[in-house]
Structure 1
Amino acid sequence: MYIRSLKVRDLRAVASARLELLHPGRVDGRSGADGTLPRPRFDNVNLILGVNGAGKSTLLDGIALGVLSPIIAQAGFRPHFLIRRGPLEKHADRATLDIDMVVHRQDGLKKGSEARRRVATSVERRGDVERIVGYDDSHPIWEGMFSEESPAFLIVGYGATRRVESSANVDTAARSRARQLRYERVASLFEEQFTLRPLTSWLPEWSSRNPGRHKQVVNLINRLSGEDVRFTGVLERGEYVFRTKRTDVPFSALSDGYKAFIGWVGDLLYHVCMGCPKGMKLVDNKGVVLVDEIDLHIHPKWQRTIIPTLARALPNMQFVFTSHSPLVVGTLERANIHLIETNRLGRPVLRRPDEEIYGLSADQILRSDVFGLESTRDPSFKAHLDALSGEAAIGDREAAMTFMRQVAQGQGAALPEEPSEPPEWVRRLAARST
């Protein structure tokens, strides 16, 4: 299953929006509604950008709710404040989600390699109670959604507060009773306290149950984790050991960045493993992966490679990310990027960047229309530089020299012991001002 588009109305802060998504194998409209942009390097990646409160997380929630609505209301999820609220007289009574999706043989399709399905979901309010009204699930194509062992309709989501449950606290039976599996896969998008399954809760049994699949998981984690940490697949005192440049450490002793990343990747591989048909490689599974704040706790060095690594390692997964990092943005082309902006009426508007992004520096991206910053410097220091520039423009040689030093070296630039001659451009500027 892949998502072609999502249309939202009156969901949380989003009054109305339409999101066109890339997915593996999409030909028409591959780069947007008009299909005019060139094909990007990664046709399985979508990145949503916008200021805080613009509605990025809401769009991820909308995808999950729209796909899983036939079962999500009975799966442990209680809708709360999903319907957009404005001034009392402008309260909406319902929110709507319209999804255009592609289904495959993995989803139970009997004929052909793929087919399109359009489904509509609503969230309705009665008094203080909200309830989800799912789409008609009577067609045989939806049967796989009601089987926990089925590989059909794989959609997994990870919220910005994601964290892994302690190995000592895992109670698999209690987790199964609390939430239906398909809702559990997206629960961290909606529940801040929700914890992900640790590797130790499911991977050890695969070493004997299916050694080949166990090896695939170990190899995938290593491929995704980068060069600075390696997953050994070895258990010591109930914890998996990871090899860093300096020493071997248990999962609990890894940095927050590695724990956050390996935590959701391990959880994702659990859900892929559980439904993967016998004889199929894990990387051949199709599905949708939603990740809020993909750069969470990630060092800038890693931010420059994290999305390309995921896209290449899992080429049949459709990814939808959000981020605030220019280093993450710079690894993609504008065909992969969706900007959420607020119009003069305060409503979100989705569009692609006006200029190509791939290959620009972080500073250039921050000052492009993607982030729209006038400068990346501290506002007070920029005002100080502007003042020096103004003084230099009217012939103040000392201000010109100070400006150059501080532009190049920051506020800590040392004054020379003896004044030196200013460069030719400063002398010409001073001459024109006199």
Structure 2
Amino acid sequence: MRIERIEVKNFRGFASRAFEFSPSFNVLIGDNGTGKTAILDALSIAAGAIFLGLEGATPPGIHRDDVRRVMHTSGEVPTLEALYPVEVRCRGLIEGKSLEWARTLEGPNKHTTHGQTSDLSKRTLSWRSQVRKGKDVVLPLIAYYGTGRLWLQRRARQSTASDGARVLKPRSRFRGYHGCLDPSSNHKDFVSWFKTMELIQLQEGRALGTLGAVKHALRECMRDWTDVRYDLRLGMLVASKKDGAQLPFDMLSDGARSMLAMVGNIAYRAATLNPHLREQAPSQTPGIVLIDELDLHLHPNWQREVVDDLRKVFPQLQFVATTHSPFIVQSLRENELINLDDQSRETLPSRSIEDIAQEVMGVELPQRSHRHQVMMEAARKYYAALEQAKGSKGKELQRLKQELDELSAPFSDDVAYHAFLEMQRGKAGLPGDDS
């Protein structure tokens, strides 16, 4: 399953906008407030339509907060009006077949419509029937990871600190959809699954290919870590580094915890949805994964590699992510970047970080710090004021002296720079700012 195109109408800040997506990786960039997270939310509504008729997950609908509102200032009292209908229209591939579907909210007292999802519903009802008969149908993976994922991991650990992860009893394959489109969902199910599989290995005295595949996915995406296991004595995941050090999950860096939990959760869902694929479940499960701020807590070295790592470990998945990192942008391939600031798509791997930051992301002179730029601008104004002061008298001279004082004051902590400005002031025959 993958989404090729989505069109939104009256959704959040978009009056009407369409986006097309590449089959492997898509990264959304743009200034704050341009709608990156809104697109992810619209995609979750579109992709979540597959849950109509399936147990294990609730399809997300269009909510009141998703409705576009406009301000009117006619008269003395401004008004804020909601615009309907709100529509999320989608075109995608399901099991190799092109389908189109839409979900609409017609008014403030209405519910999200399902009437334009009949073709998709027929497909998902077929999955339900085959799963109940024990058929080896491949179910697509759907998942959404929001910016609060690390904080919610901490909350989940606190709630289970007393008894550790539970052992999972056999459940439906559709359990792999539980909480998958809640961007605030936690990783408790993944940890419980990991513990259960470790216990089965011990009981049966043999390695489980599915657990091995999940561990392989973690190793490929963690780079400096050689193994992850569930320690029964500690009641938590433990990671082993290449230098032999072992650290409990709680002691890992924020970036390592965030990546381990997300990759592990994706691999766990693939193994739960498609157990018949065994060790091939992570690499052969298709689907869609949404990630808000892919660079969250990751060092720049890791940011440069994370896209290729995810692409390699989960080759059948379509990723749509947001970022503010030029390192992630630099790692993309043709047509994988969606720039909301200028609606462009371009290939960037051969461009420097400075070029990407300045020309693509709109950062002015990224080669220099913002403070340096402010200092240079202040120096230009300072010299201009000195030139004016040379022939000035009376009130005009006092005004220029005050202007010089204001220009130099922010840099009093930089002794050399401040002394240089004072020296130039002395050369012009004007008293210093402390006179």
> Which residue pairs with 1:26 in the alignment?
none
Instruction: Note the C-alpha offset of 1:121.
Output: 1.0
> Which residue pairs with 1:110 in the alignment?
none
Q: For 2:84 and 2:272, how far apart are their aligned partners in 1? A: 39
> Which residue pairs with 1:233 in the alignment?
229
* Secondary structure in 2 matching 1:297: coil
Q: For 2:18 and 2:191, how far apart are their aligned partners in 1? A: 40
Q: Indicate if the aligned counterparts of 1:200 and 1:238 stay in contact, CA closer than 8 A.
A: no
Q: Indicate if the aligned counterparts of 1:159 and 1:291 stay in contact, CA closer than 8 A.
A: yes
Matched, 1:187 2:178: no
> Which residue pairs with 1:266 in the alignment?
264
Q: Indicate if the aligned counterparts of 1:198 and 1:266 stay in contact, CA closer than 8 A.
A: no
Decide whether aligned partners of structure 1 residues 279 and 366 sit closer, same or farther in structure 2, where only a CA change above 3 A counts. closer
Decide whether aligned partners of structure 1 residues 76 and 181 sit closer, same or farther in structure 2, where only a CA change above 3 A counts. farther
Instruction: Note the C-alpha offset of 1:313.
Output: 1.9
Matched, 1:54 2:52: no
* Secondary structure in 2 matching 1:99: strand
> Which residue pairs with 1:218 in the alignment?
215
Aligned sequence identity (%):
22
**Rg larger in 1 or in 2?**
2
Q: For 1:68 and 1:124, how far apart are their aligned partners in 2? A: 19
> Which residue pairs with 2:365 in the alignment?
375
Counterpart code for 1:216: A
* Secondary structure in 1 matching 2:118: coil
Q: For 1:83 and 1:256, how far apart are their aligned partners in 2? A: 34
Decide whether aligned partners of structure 1 residues 140 and 133 sit closer, same or farther in structure 2, where only a CA change above 3 A counts. closer
Q: Indicate if the aligned counterparts of 2:165 and 2:195 stay in contact, CA closer than 8 A.
A: no
Q: 1:13-412, aligned counterparts within 5 Å?
A: 13-23=13-23, 44-69=24-49, 71=51, 75=58, 77=60, 79-87=63-71, 88=79, 90-104=81-95, 114-127=96-109, 131-133=112-114, 135-137=116-118, 140-143=122-125, 151-163=138-150, 164=153, 165-166=156-157, 167-168=160-161, 182=177, 184-188=179-183, 192=184, 194-197=185-188, 199-207=190-198, 208=200, 211-227=208-224, 229-235=225-231, 236-244=233-241, 245=243, 247-279=245-277, 281-282=280-281, 283-341=283-341, 350-353=343-346, 356-368=347-359, 370-376=360-366, 377-386=368-377
Decide whether aligned partners of structure 1 residues 248 and 180 sit closer, same or farther in structure 2, where only a CA change above 3 A counts. closer
Q: For 1:305 and 1:413, how far apart are their aligned partners in 2? A: 41
Q: Indicate if the aligned counterparts of 2:177 and 2:269 stay in contact, CA closer than 8 A.
A: no
Deviations 1:274-319 (A, max 9, x none): 0115145121111111111000011111111111111122211111
Q: For 2:383 and 2:167, how far apart are their aligned partners in 1? A: 69
Decide whether aligned partners of structure 1 residues 319 and 134 sit closer, same or farther in structure 2, where only a CA change above 3 A counts. farther
Q: For 2:39 and 2:292, how far apart are their aligned partners in 1? A: 10
Q: For 1:72 and 1:330, how far apart are their aligned partners in 2? A: 38
User: Where does structure 2 lack aligned partners over 5 or more consecutive residues?
Assistant: 72-78, 202-206, 385-412, 418-435
Decide whether aligned partners of structure 1 residues 11 and 362 sit closer, same or farther in structure 2, where only a CA change above 3 A counts. same
Q: For this pair of structures, how many residues does the alignment match?
A: 352
Counterpart code for 2:139: A
Counterpart code for 2:68: R
Q: Indicate if the aligned counterparts of 1:144 and 1:153 stay in contact, CA closer than 8 A.
A: no
User: Where does structure 1 lack aligned partners over 5 or more consecutive residues?
Assistant: 24-43, 105-113, 342-348, 394-410, 416-434
Structure having the higher helix fraction is 2
Counterpart code for 2:37: S
Counterpart code for 1:383: V
* Secondary structure in 1 matching 2:340: strand
Deviations 1:228-268 (A, max 9, x none): x2324252421121123472111111111111111111111
Deviations 1:96-149 (A, max 9, x none): 111111111xxxxxxxxx21111111123334x654546333653221565788
Counterpart code for 2:216: N
Counterpart code for 2:83: A
Instruction: Note the C-alpha offset of 1:75.
Output: 2.1
Decide whether aligned partners of structure 1 residues 132 and 211 sit closer, same or farther in structure 2, where only a CA change above 3 A counts. same
Decide whether aligned partners of structure 1 residues 181 and 284 sit closer, same or farther in structure 2, where only a CA change above 3 A counts. closer
Instruction: Give the superposed CA RMSD.
Output: 3.4
Runs of 4+ more than 6 Å apart: 147-150, 389-393, 411-415
Q: Indicate if the aligned counterparts of 1:49 and 1:323 stay in contact, CA closer than 8 A.
A: yes
* Secondary structure in 2 matching 1:52: coil
TM-score by length of 2: 0.71
Structure 1 range deviating more: 290-299 or 131-140: 131-140
Q: Indicate if the aligned counterparts of 1:70 and 1:135 stay in contact, CA closer than 8 A.
A: no
* Secondary structure in 2 matching 1:288: strand
Instruction: Note the C-alpha offset of 1:326.
Output: 0.7
Q: For 1:85 and 1:314, how far apart are their aligned partners in 2? A: 39
Q: For 1:90 and 1:414, how far apart are their aligned partners in 2? A: 56
Q: For 1:317 and 1:375, how far apart are their aligned partners in 2? A: 37
